[in-house]
Structure 1
Amino acid sequence: MDPWHKFRRIFYSVGIPPTIWLIAFFLAPLGLIWIFSFGEKVGVVGIDITWTLDNYVRSFNPDILKIFAKSLWLAAVATFICLVVGLPVALGIVYAPNKWKGLLLLGIMLPFWTNLLIRTYALIAVLRTRGYVNFTLEWLDGAARWFLELFGMGGIALAILGERFQALELLYNDNAVILGLVYVHLPFMVLPLYAALERLDRSYLEASLDLGAGHLRTLWNVVVPLALPGIISGLIITFIPALGSFLTPDLLGGPDSAMIATIIERQFKSANDWPFGSALSFLLMYITFGALAIRALMARRRGGDGMGG
């Protein structure tokens, strides 16, 4: 392949416009927020850049750390559930007939074609007090009572089913937030897993089964190690946006289910404390960079081990 400097004019004409766009609309605003994180709030909307670290020190307030820890926990649980659900789904797509693979992948990517706000409100319609879940459970409870009373077993119905069905509180708690995070981020897990599993040499699986290993043992001892790069990529790609999620916990969670992105939004809008909100934003970004650095380090060590072998 010819070096790029032989075609400088073409290289610059293609590379300069996106570079300018990246600098103007990504790096410059990001740098501005980083500078704000070293400032102080003045008046209602004023910011005085004093290069102080007080905003970062405030971020280690026990209440803020508690919210950070809760955000990490909710994002980690949602990511784990996405892995448990996404791995069988990805395997199913890999081993599906070729004529169905395209449709199955389309079904995984289809949620991206719908606005997140609309999908979240649809989930609210399912989980609310008079939503589809409670309506279905109430209908099943009524149908069971009617069936038992029809055969003169009303007493048994009361003994088995107890009092009349009471609507479940499925919204505005941590469980609703986790469900929402899984609902939104599951495609981010399935697609990397599918890409990794699609490249697997199926002869390894056949050899494992021929040697007497069961399906679960083959999955754990053969598929998981070979697909580990895709699993790690899926974990990171799912965990990072889940950690910074704002809309899902804001609409599905209650006052005790706020995540760190909710606190950041309140600093920029309600409190008008842009310096503190900027510091919290960059702490979240530092966590993201740390996760990516760990991923790169693990990939380098795995590559070094492979070269050494």
Structure 2
Amino acid sequence: MKKFQQLAIPYIVWACIMLLLPMLLIAFYSVIQQGNSIVHFKLTLDNYVRFFTDKDFLLILWRSLWIAIKTTIICLLIGYPIAYFISKNSPKIQQILVLAITLPTWINMLVRTYAWIGILSSDGIISSFLGLFGIHTELLYTEAAVLIGMVYNFLPFMILQINTALTKMDRSLLDAAQDLGANKFQTFWKVIFPLSLPGVVSGITLVFLPAVSSFFIPKLLGGGQFFLIGNVIENQFITVGEWNFGSAISMIMAMIMMLLMMLVRKLEERNKEEK
């Protein structure tokens, strides 16, 4: 057993260097500010106070959360029926369909998002199609374009998680429900959906967390008109050069995500207890 534990040492070292150390540096930068010729830096919470006392930053945070919530809801409404359809097929067909879902993710997310610029532009496929019906609208650089880009990029995470939960479900429970006189809707609502909730919760987590902190999707498809919290962090580090304030915002987002993950974990534990 000790030999197997020693095999984990390289991974622990890698995690400390690549994950823990950067987070500690960000946390350190978030609570310091430039000092004078005698003291190089001094501890302060002004960076956090500045964020929570500025209405503009709070508005951007709320906008980011709201767009992430809408993205998650759309992914759930689209992803659940697709995952349910995949789970109803034979194992071979399931493998093909899952491959079709995951195949686009093999391409870099930035490249896939760039492709949507051409699709959503005024002379793109969607605008040309709508033009056949006399509908002339500009989709690019709108909130709808940002939502489309986020749903497209994060939808596979929702589908795969729900599909995994559905395929692991005990099929004998469905036969038992039918034997007891339940119709298709009752079987789905009282048996299938409750058993798939762990996959739904995992899918919501995997979609919401990256959506709320995304910065290049709103930057490319929103044209800078939808400035989200990820764009603020990027701007503070790269453009403005205020690493301390950018680190404070990063820590605030990290704490929000940790609280959400703790909430999701408690919901999963409560669901297991009810089962």
Query: How does the TM-score come out when normalised to structure 2?
Result: 0.92
Structure 1, residues 285-304: CA drift from partner, whole Å, max 9, x if none? 11110111112222333334
Aligned letter for 1:280? Answer: I
User: Structure 2 matches for 1:180-259, cutoff 5 A?
Assistant: 180-209=149-178, 213-259=182-228
Q: State the structure with more CA Rg.
A: 1
Tell me the equivalent position of 2:108: 115
Which secondary structure does the structure 2 equivalent of 1:50 belong to?
strand
Structure 1 gaps, min length 5: 142-164
Please give the alpha-carbon distance, in whole angstroms, between the structure 2 residues aligned to 1:81 and 1:58.
34
After superposition, the CA RMSD in angstroms is 2.1
Large movers: runs of 4+ above 6 Å: none
Structure-2 change in CA distance of 1:135 and 1:20 (3 Å): same
- After TM superposition, give the deviation of residue 115 of structure 1 in Å: 0.9
Q: Is the 8 A contact 1:192 1:234 kept in 2?
A: yes
| Aligned positions, number | 272
Counterpart check, 1:11 vs 2:5: yes
Contact residue 158 and residue 206 of structure 2 kept, 8 A? yes
Contact 1:93 1:194 in 2 (8 A): yes
State the one-letter code of the partner of 2:5: F
Structure 2, unmatched stretches of 5+, are none
In structure 2, the residue matched to 1:126 is 119
The Cα shift of 1:59 comes to 1.3
- Cα displacement (A) at 1:15: 1.9
Give 1:136 shift: 2.0
Show CA shifts across 1:223-266 (max 9, x none): 21111111111111111111111111111114441110001000
1:26 and 1:285 mapped to 2: Cα distance? 13
How far apart in 2 are the matches of 1:84 and 1:193? Answer: 12
Q: 2 CA distance for matches of 1:215 and 1:305?
A: 23
**Pairwise CA distance, 1:210:** 5.3
1:94 to 87, 99, 107: 87
Judged with a 3 Å threshold, the aligned counterparts in structure 2 of structure 1 residues 248 and 26 are, in CA distance, closer, same or farther, namely: same
Secondary structure in structure 1 of the residue aligned to 2:214 = coil
**Within 1, Cα distance between the matches of 2:72 and 2:99?**
22
Instruction: Provide, for residues 102-157 of structure 1, a one-character-per-residue CA deviation record: whole Å limited to 9, x for no partner.
Output: 1111111112210111101111111111101112222x34xxxxxxxxxxxxxxxx
The 5 Å alignment of 1:69-80 reads 69-80=62-73
User: 1:57 aligned to 2:56?
Assistant: no
Distance 1:41 1:68, change over 3 A: farther
1:16 Cα deviation from its structure 2 partner:
2.0
